[in-house]
Amino acid sequence: MGELRAAIFDIGGVLTSSPVTAIRDYAAAAGIDYGILGPMLALPDGTWSRYERSELTEQEFCLALEAEGRAHGITVDGKLIQQAAFAGQQVRPEMIAAVRHLKGKVRLGAITNNVLRDDSRPKSIEDLDELFECVIESAKVGMRKPDPRIFHMACESLGVTPPEAVFLDDLGANLKGARALGMTTIKVDHTLSALLELEAALGIPLPKPAV
């Protein structure tokens, strides 16, 4: 592994609780088979992906998602899925503390797949632009993870090459896309394992909550 000069973080599922978990909970409460809904939402050219690239308005998204659900044999409510995905994301203070600790030690960036809604940036997080040198949002740049162009954009903004960056995300497909470019990748779950891996990768001790 070469010297890592930058750390790039996902937001939902890394700095906050996962919107995927919230959507899974919505599906369970609504009696929807998440084994169908989950893969449908992950389709690279599906309704959700198009919404995160700002190719659909909110109304168009709801109509298209509901039609896509019917085509897959499930009944979904576009507005309720939006509410599940973007409402109530809880900040992970241990991850915010790690970002703050790394300021001035490595270049810091964020890449998020999101949409143009007031609540797509969790209000419970302090100003993202204060935490990071660059914040790249799929809805603003018209591309989303794991498109290699979005990783290149982040690296170029930080003045590093992909092999000089470590990327943290909670979704395997996004990590696979970053890894293909030579980035060091770390999968984030509900434990502290990602912080331990990040600490080892960067060679910088990180604050961790008492257990």
pLDDT tens figures, 96-136: 999 999 999 999 999 999 887 655 555 545 577 789 999 99
Same domain, 77 and 51: yes
What is the structure's pLDDT at 2?
59
Q: What CATH number is attached to the domain comprising 148?
A: 3.40.50.1000
Same domain, 183 and 198: yes
Average pLDDT over residues 53-74: 96
User: Edge-to-edge strand order for the sheet containing 184-187?
Assistant: 134-137, 107-112, 6-9, 165-169, 184-187
The answer to whether position 207 is within a domain reads: no
96/1 Cα distance (integer angstroms): 26
Total domains present in the chain: 2
Same domain, 29 and 46: yes
29/37 Cα distance (integer angstroms): 13
Average pLDDT over residues 73-96: 88
User: Of 41, 68, 86, which residue sits at a domain end?
Assistant: 86
Same domain, 38 and 116: no
The answer to whether position 210 is within a domain reads: no
What is the structure's pLDDT at 18?
86
What is the structure's pLDDT at 122?
55
Structural domain span for residue 178? 6-17+90-202
pTM, entire model: 0.90
User: Of 86, 107, 123, which residue sits at a domain end?
Assistant: 86
pLDDT tens figures, 142-201: 999 999 999 999 999 999 999 999 999 999 999 999 999 999 999 999 899 999 999 999
What is the structure's pLDDT at 105?
97
Contact 14, 111 (CB under 8 A): no
